[in-house]
Amino acid sequence: MKVKNNMYDDEPVKESSINIGNKAIASTDPDKSIYKEIDYGFSVKDSIIYIHGDIVLGLLFDFVSKVRTILDNRDASQKDAPITVLLNSDGGDVYEALGIIDYINGLPVKVNMVARGRAMSAAALMLSCATGFRAASKMTSIMVHEISTANQGKASDIRANADHLENLEDLTFQLLAQHTKMDLEFWRKQARKDFYMSPTTALEYGLIDTIL
């Protein structure tokens, strides 16, 4: 996969615009097909989305917006081309991660995931569930572990939250088992503590398809 990177291209070009939803914003490409990735975190021309940092509330909305912008503004010749997500994240909100996984499973195009730096916790789950190819650069750190929470309040609420958390955790292990070569019990056992993997180990377990 060849990825053209225009992030640091500072040569002046004719300004045009591109639509995000109902709002037109400035673009530095005369073909109306490229963003400054450093500003917007994605490239329409190259069908790339960057996920950098923690997975937090609002990431799903942001991700959907960027995917829709790419699909709505790409050339007809690129209609069925995959979207590539460049991932560098310590993880975070499992609900947002599961929402993104659901969303990419419903898209008419494949979504590749490429981890660079780290893909941990919820980010590792997203990496494993990509609908296109799943890759990691040579020195990327990958980690999975049990879901954690800081629930407090009434005893009945704590019990309800604990049951929900257990069900949610089972779902994440089922997804890992479904998308890797290892079974559910393997992931349940390994995730009792932070389970770090090199790309080589992740490739062996089937969590990724290739090492860049």
- Top-confidence residue, 32 or 47: 47
**Which residues span the domain enclosing 27?**
16-211
Band of pLDDT at residue 83, cut at 50, 70 and 90? very high
Mean residue pLDDT across the chain: 84
The residues annotated as belonging to the active site are 121, 145
The rounded distance, in Å, linking the Cα atoms of 129 and 118 is 16
The rounded distance, in Å, linking the Cα atoms of 142 and 134 is 12
Residue 123: pLDDT over 50: yes
Q: What is the DSSP string of 43-92?
A: ETTTTEEEEES-B-TTHHHHHHHHHHHHHHHS-GGGTTPPEEEEEEE--B
User: Does residue 112 belong to any structural domain of this protein?
Assistant: yes
pTM of the model: 0.79
User: Does residue 63 belong to any structural domain of this protein?
Assistant: yes
The rounded distance, in Å, linking the Cα atoms of 95 and 118 is 20
What are the strands, taking DSSP E only, across the chain? 16-20, 23-27, 42-43, 48-52, 83-89, 111-120, 134-136, 141-144, 195-197, 210-211
Distances (CA, A) of 195 to 70, 127, 144: 35, 15, 5
Residue 107: pLDDT over 50: yes
Give per-residue pLDDT as tens, 150-196.
566 676 766 777 788 888 899 999 999 999 999 999 999 999 999 99
- Provide the 8-state DSSP code for 183: -
Q: What pLDDT shows up at residue 147? A: 80
Tally of domains within the chain: 1
User: Does residue 199 belong to any structural domain of this protein?
Assistant: yes
User: Does residue 9 belong to any structural domain of this protein?
Assistant: no
Tokens of 73: 């503004």
The rounded distance, in Å, linking the Cα atoms of 181 and 191 is 16
Give per-residue pLDDT as tens, 139-162.
999 999 988 665 666 767 667 777
User: Does residue 4 belong to any structural domain of this protein?
Assistant: no
Residue 76: pLDDT over 80: yes
- Top-confidence residue, 85 or 10: 85
User: Does residue 128 belong to any structural domain of this protein?
Assistant: yes
The rounded distance, in Å, linking the Cα atoms of 168 and 162 is 10
User: Does residue 204 belong to any structural domain of this protein?
Assistant: yes
Residue 212: pLDDT over 50: yes
Non-local CB neighbours of 209 within 8 Å, separated by 6+ positions: 133, 134, 135, 203
Q: How far is CA 48 from the centre of its chain?
A: 11
The count of residues in the chain is: 212
Collapsing DSSP states into helix, strand and coil, what is residue 115? strand
Give per-residue pLDDT as tens, 26-45.
444 444 444 455 567 999 88
CATH label of the domain that carries residue 150: 3.90.226.10
Contact (Cβ atoms closer than 8 angstroms) between residue 183 and residue 205 = no
Give per-residue pLDDT as tens, 10-20.
333 333 444 44
Q: What pLDDT shows up at residue 134? A: 98
User: Does residue 34 belong to any structural domain of this protein?
Assistant: yes
Q: What pLDDT shows up at residue 25? A: 45
